[in-house]
A = this chain, B = another copy of it.
């Protein structure tokens, strides 16, 4: 049996970068101690979710890669012998720099395994998710990172609503797609709508598991920040879209989840959706 154990660090993110990093490290250590081999952090975990508005000062949060964060966490990955999925507000080293919402995979040797730059950038509603002020759409396509245990992709938050992104990642070989995320309820909406939104968020990601015969791991932040009440509910789903484990919505929680990767090959014979799709869009986004 080809098995891999995932760790999802669901956490809240306060104003102090150092404290957020310490929290993340604690979460990673807890997951690793419980057997996790690939461990993911939420989107932009080093700061409050600054996209609830357009503030030029927030560009001070950027890092060029490699950066102090990837160095610190690279050493941790090496020490714990795990793969880490880390979200970074990236500034390129170009003379006129570009800015991306990126994930970096750090391998168990402590080195950078690969990088993804978020392709789907939300702009709505402008007082909640004004990401277009900060980030360009990614220019790296949908890369797959070959960890020692599984081929993975690490897409980001809004990407999770687009079946195309999951499809291209799976077509490129991903067996597990991680979605570091920052999504929450808008307290101005009714309970009924907020319930529907959370359910829709789970349904669309579970559907990517089904359509592509793969595992999905969504890792979200929690806690209230201005107009957003981040809904946690980090989860892992299998190729049937079954939820293998799910966190609560209102507090920090580390999920450790075993995945039987043999199920992917089994499902690709039973339900060969990836092979039998008739519409192919293997070009990269322009």
Range of interface residues on A (Cβ < 8 Å): 35 or more
B200 to A278, Cβ gap below 8 A? no
A94 at the interface (CB under 8 A from B): no
A188 at the interface (CB under 8 A from B): no
A7 at the interface (CB under 8 A from B): no
Chain A: residues with CB nearer than 8 A to chain B?
Answer: 119-120, 122-125, 137, 158, 161-165, 167-168, 196-197, 199-200, 203-204, 206-207, 210-211, 240-242, 269-273, 276-281, 285
The minimal Cβ–Cβ distance linking A225 to chain B, given in whole angstroms, is 20
Contacts of A167 in B (CB 8 A): 163-164
Q: Return the contact of A204 from the options B123, B158, B211, B278 (Cβ within 8 A).
A: B211
The minimal Cβ–Cβ distance linking A121 to chain B, given in whole angstroms, is 8
Q: List 5 A-B contacts (CB under 8 A).
A: A124-B272, A161-B211, A162-B273, A196-B242, A280-B285
Once A124-B270, A203-B241, A269-B124 are accepted as A-B contacts, the answer to whether A211 and B278 lie under 8 Å apart by CB is no
B207 to A277, Cβ gap below 8 A? no
A203 to B199, Cβ gap below 8 A? no
Q: Return the contact of A207 from the options B119, B204, B242, B270 (Cβ within 8 A).
A: B204
Contacts of A163 in B (CB 8 A): 163-164, 167, 207, 211
Q: Return the contact of A199 from the options B123, B240, B270, B277 (Cβ within 8 A).
A: B240
A210 to B200, Cβ gap below 8 A? yes
The minimal Cβ–Cβ distance linking A74 to chain B, given in whole angstroms, is 30
Contacts of A164 in B (CB 8 A): 163, 167, 277-279, 281
Which residue in chain B gives the minimum CB-CB distance to A165? B279
Contacts of A269 in B (CB 8 A): 124
